[in-house]
């Protein structure tokens, strides 16, 4: 596999005529740029870092582009199913599952999670009342299952995590000092958060009194903001896996915030870096972030990392499969227009259209 000498993420000023993306604007382009150094690297060569993630080297894959594999998706469950389910679920947007195969459907209209067993029978609702009181929710940005007894919901607007029993009973809330975009727990009780808003670090991990912020957020034209650096996270063992939304890399972090690996994805070398553009806003200067969406979700199942990716060369989505231990890319398979996908128990959970969550066996 190849090793890229370095990648530098920095804020730069580009003259108008330096790129065709500027069109006829007379202003300068303020860009978040990935600057690549090609060629082979030797151990005594200077390395540069991706500032936003404090990275030093990016280890490229031995193959370029995607290696397609034929995979059969066999439908097992479709939600809502019965008439009463259709009255219950207003806007199914995503789903998660536990090791027992129970299904948890996000309903943004109701600001609630609806739980079903593995056959699709309704079990309980978590949340459902809008507000800041006990058991109430103001938003849903993430959810998860701890062990086999607790459902947690991440509320970015309220800056807290709410915990529920499997029967839907509210247990407690945990207030955070930041706006969480995602939040996961390892089996050992360590938590990892992706931090949103104006912040100088992208992640925070904690276990008891051990709290570690990490992942430097670059200086943008309007200050430090994580908006250009956000992506999708999951855990593997005690570590964190991160697939940025706009950058063709897969990163694994250790609990102390150091890097286990940084690997290129199949889109490496085929996409333009994201950038900030100046825009006029009623006589005032503003900034617009422009970037190509690469990744939509990430999950881990049986030692494999599943990164759900936009396919730029054709319609639909792909699942890129990696070895979780090393980050080595293995193959990809197509899932058509299935959105907000998630893998667990060798089953694919995703949204079809605007009205259905579907569970497939992956064969």
Residue 152: pLDDT above 90?
A: yes
> Omega of the bond prior to 209 within 30 degrees of 0, cis?
no
Instruction: Kindly state the greatest CA–CA separation across the chain.
Output: 67
Residue 13: pLDDT above 80?
A: no
Q: Which residue has the tokens 């000498």?
A: 5
22 or 59, which is more confident: 59
pLDDT, mean of residues 300-329: 95
Per-residue pLDDT at 221: 65
pLDDT, mean of residues 310-331: 94
Pick among 2.60.40.1890, 2.120.10.30, 3.20.20.210, 3.10.20.30: CATH of 64-265+293-362:
2.120.10.30
Per-residue pLDDT at 309: 97
Say how far apart CA 48 and CA 34 lie, in whole Å. 11
- If we measure between CA atoms, which residue out of 217, 179, 211 comes closest to residue 196? 179
Confidence tier at 35 by pLDDT (50, 70, 90)? very low
Residue 200: pLDDT above 90?
A: no
295 or 42, which is more confident: 295
Give the pTM: 0.82
327 or 48, which is more confident: 327
Q: What is the average pLDDT value for the chain, to the nearest integer? A: 82
The structural domains of the chain, with segments of one domain joined by +, span 64-265+293-362
218 or 158, which is more confident: 158
CB 111, CB 139: distance < 8 Å: yes
Per-residue pLDDT at 83: 66
**In the numeric block, which tokens belong to residue 54?**
């404090």
Main-chain phi, psi angles of 86, to 5 degrees? -65, -30
Per-residue pLDDT at 79: 94
Per-residue pLDDT at 169: 98
pLDDT in tens, 221-248: 666 767 778 899 999 999 999 999 988 9
Residue 43: pLDDT above 80?
A: no
Of all residues in the chain, the percent with pLDDT exceeding 90 is 63
Per-residue pLDDT at 320: 98
pLDDT, mean of residues 57-69: 91
Say how far apart CA 324 and CA 306 lie, in whole Å. 9
Per-residue pLDDT at 148: 82
Main-chain phi, psi angles of 84, to 5 degrees? -70, -30
Per-residue pLDDT at 142: 95
**In the numeric block, which tokens belong to residue 102?**
């129970």
Residue 101 backbone zone (phi > 0: left; psi -120 to 50: alpha; other: beta): left
355 or 303, which is more confident: 303
Question: Which of 20-29, 169-178, 202-211 shows the lowest mean pLDDT across its residues?
Answer: 20-29
Of all residues in the chain, the percent with pLDDT exceeding 70 is 82
CB 276, CB 218: distance < 8 Å: no
**In the numeric block, which tokens belong to residue 193?**
């958060």
| 2, 36, 37, 82, 128 from 44: Cα distances, Å | 16, 18, 15, 65, 58
């Amino acid at each position: 596999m190849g090793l890229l000498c370095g990648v530098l993420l920095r804020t730069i000023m580009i003259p108008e005529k330096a790129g065709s993306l500027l069109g006829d604007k007379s202003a300068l382009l303020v860009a978040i740029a990935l600057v690549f150094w090609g060629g082979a690297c030797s151990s005594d060569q200077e390395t540069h870092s991706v500032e936003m993630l404090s990275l030093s080297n990016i280890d490229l894959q031995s193959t370029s582009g995607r290696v397609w594999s034929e995979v059969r998706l066999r439908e097992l469950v479709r939600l809502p199913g019965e008439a009463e389910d259709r009255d219950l679920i207003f806007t199914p947007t995503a789903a998660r599952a536990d090791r027992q195969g129970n299904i948890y459907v996000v309903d943004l209209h109701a600001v609630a999670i609806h739980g079903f067993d593995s056959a699709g029978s309704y079990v309980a609702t978590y949340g459902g009342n809008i507000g800041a009181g006990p058991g109430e929710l103001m938003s849903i940005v993430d959810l998860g299952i701890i062990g086999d007894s607790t459902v947690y919901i991440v509320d970015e607007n309220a800056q807290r995590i709410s915990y529920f029993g499997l029967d839907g009973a509210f247990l407690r809330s945990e207030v955070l000092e930041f706006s969480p975009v995602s939040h996961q727990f390892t089996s050992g009780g360590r938590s990892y958060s992706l931090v949103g808003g104006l912040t100088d670090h992208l992640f925070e991990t904690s276990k008891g009194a051990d709290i570690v912020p990490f992942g430097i957020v670059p200086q943008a034209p309007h200050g430090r903001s994580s908006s250009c650096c956000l992506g999708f996270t999951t855990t593997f063992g005690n570590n964190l896996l991160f697939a940025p939304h706009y950058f063709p890399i897969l990163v694994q972090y250790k609990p102390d915030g150091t890097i286990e690996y940084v690997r290129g994805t199949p889109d490496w070398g085929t996409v333009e870096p994201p950038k900030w553009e100046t825009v006029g806003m009623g006589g005032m200067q503003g900034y617009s972030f422009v970037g190509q969406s690469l990744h939509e979700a990430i999950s881990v199942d049986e030692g494999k990392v599943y990164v759900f990716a936009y396919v730029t060369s054709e319609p639909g989505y792909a699942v890129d499969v990696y070895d979780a231990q090393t980050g080595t890319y293995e193959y990809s398979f197509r899932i058509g227009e299935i959105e907000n996908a998630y893998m667990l128990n060798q089953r694919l959970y995703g949204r079809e259209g605007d009205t259905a969550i579907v569970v497939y066996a992956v064969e």
